[in-house]
Amino acid sequence: MADLKVSVVSADNEVWSGLAKQIVARTTEGEIGILPGHEPILAILGAGEVRVTTLDGSVVKANAEDGFLSVEHNSVTIVARNAELV
């Protein structure tokens, strides 16, 4: 199975980037889970936690709000006005 290339970015810097096997984020429609092979999507972020499960199974958590999540070709970009690691 492929990996996800993930980038979590706030308005002024990159908060985290790396490879992952799963992402869970809160959108305005509710929580969404992203696995490798996910269909392309563009979603508006809701205020809440983004959980990135890395290849070794550890979980990186970030609070993010006021932004969007984009998925295309196993590349996930999360852009938020405010984002910080928890």
pLDDT beyond 70 at 40: yes
Note the pLDDT tens digit of each residue in 64-81.
Answer: 989 999 999 999 999 999
Q: What is the DSSP letter of 56?
A: T
Contacts of 78 (CB under 8 A, 6+ apart): 6, 7, 8, 9, 23, 25, 45, 50, 62, 64, 67, 68, 69, 70
Domain count, the chain: 1
Instruction: Name the average pLDDT for the chain.
Output: 96
The boundaries of the domain holding residue 80 are: 4-85
Nearest to 7 by CA among 72, 80, 77: 77
Q: pTM score, two decimals? A: 0.93
- Domain of residue 56, CATH code: 2.60.15.10
pLDDT (0 to 100) of residue 1: 64
Give the pLDDT band (50/70/90) at residue 11.
Answer: confident
Contacts of 29 (CB under 8 A, 6+ apart): 43
